[in-house]
Amino acid sequence: MPIKDWVPGARRVLSLNSDDRPQGSGITLLVLHSISLPRGKYGGDAIEALFTNRLDPAAHPSFAGLAGVNVSSHFLIYRTGELVQFVPLQKRAWHAGLSTWRGRERCNDFSIGVELEGTDDGAFAAAQYETLFRLLKKLRAVLPLREIAAHSDVAPGRKTDPGTRFDWARLLAGLALK
């Protein structure tokens, strides 16, 4: 099942916050993030609004600092397990910002970004892990993904997500079974 740009089963919500990857940059890294808007509130459309430049900065006091911010991710996994894709795989999503992984800078150039609805100090839902396992299986079948890192790993001191409650052992065990 070849996947060029869009993963089957993901709801598509196109974000314009993307651009072309540099020539010859293989997609070898997956970066895991967490996000909720406002912090700790789940459901709603604020994350999708942020990634599609429709977030009203006056809708909540915590949104004021997001005015004019242009960010995106390839994927969002809601707590229900719903998978949304914002950026085609071959495009560069704007998710990692200033980042370095194993001596390579600009992680957006060679990575896929996956946001988990949640906070950096909260547990994630079982449905999110199951969707992440299925997504990783599909991505690894079509991309040369070799590594998975936390946003906090590629931007240490600047970012803390997905946080200490992300269950890395569960992820690795799930990947071994899938």
The residues, ordered by sequence, that sit 6+ positions from 163 with a Cβ below 8 Å of its Cβ are 34, 118, 119, 120, 121, 122, 152
State the Cα–Cα distance between residues 84 and 24, nearest whole angstrom.
Answer: 27
Query: Per DSSP, which regions of 26-161 are E strands?
Result: 29-35, 75-77, 83-85, 91-93, 100-101, 104-105, 111-117, 147-150
Comparing C-alpha atoms, which of 100, 103, 105, 104 is closest to residue 152?
100
CA 178 to CA 174: how far, in whole Å? 6
Residues tagged active-site = 115
Tokens of 53: 């430049």
